[in-house]
Amino acid sequence: MEKTFNRVRSTKDIIISVGLTLAGCILVALPTATSVNILGFFMIFAGILLFLMLRTGYKEQESGVQYCKVEHFFSQTEKAKLSEVVASKPSSISLAEEDKGNAVRLDVFYSRKSGKAYVQLYEYIPYKYEPCSRQFEYPISEVSNIIK
């Protein structure tokens, strides 16, 4: 059964937006030049905007465990080899051919907390990526060379 991942705010997203907002509040509160106060207002606005928009984490729908996502892009010529390797031994995937095209995308969702990783291959069909392999579950140690 395929796992479904929803985008959520990660701890890093929250820290960035709260830190930016607090720094802006401090700049506004300080008795300094007007330009520093204006910068503070822009920082507050940016922090609030980032809080509303940033969602870099992924939560697995059934268990609620939070995952990180890594994407690698490959050329179309690598598709057959990648399909075979993803199904059998993902630790042998070579990233030397990465970024020489964007016809094939390798998605890896991993969580160090749960110790699991989910790997799936996608192929670019005009205007979107369609799955071209099923989703495989591996221990995180099997995919450690891909998630660096």
- pLDDT (0 to 100) of residue 66: 94
Contact 86, 93 (CB under 8 A): yes
- For residue 23, the tally of other CB atoms under 10 A from its CB is 16
Low-confidence ranges of the chain (pLDDT < 50): none
pLDDT score of 4 = 92
Q: Collapsing DSSP states into helix, strand and coil, what is residue 110?
A: strand
Place of tokens 């980032």: 50
Helix (H, G, I), strand (E, B) or coil at 140: helix
pLDDT at 105: 94
pTM of full prediction above 0.75: yes
Looking at residue 45, its pLDDT comes to 98
Q: Would you state the pLDDT for residue 134?
A: 93
In this structure, what DSSP letter does residue 40 have? H
Q: How far is CA 45 from CA 13, 70, 124, in A?
A: 15, 30, 37
Strand partners, 128: 125
pLDDT at 18: 97
Structure tokens at 1: 């059964």
**Residue 27 region by backbone torsions, left for phi larger than 0, else alpha for psi between -120 and 50, else beta:** alpha
Predicted local distance difference test score (pLDDT) of residue 28:
95
pLDDT value at position 98?
84
Degrees, nearest 5: CA angle 60-62-67: 15
Q: Return the pLDDT at 101.
A: 84
> What is the b/e burial string over 58-91, where b = at least 16 CB atoms within 10 angstroms of the residue's CB?
bbbeeeeebbbeeebbbeeebbeebeebbeeebe
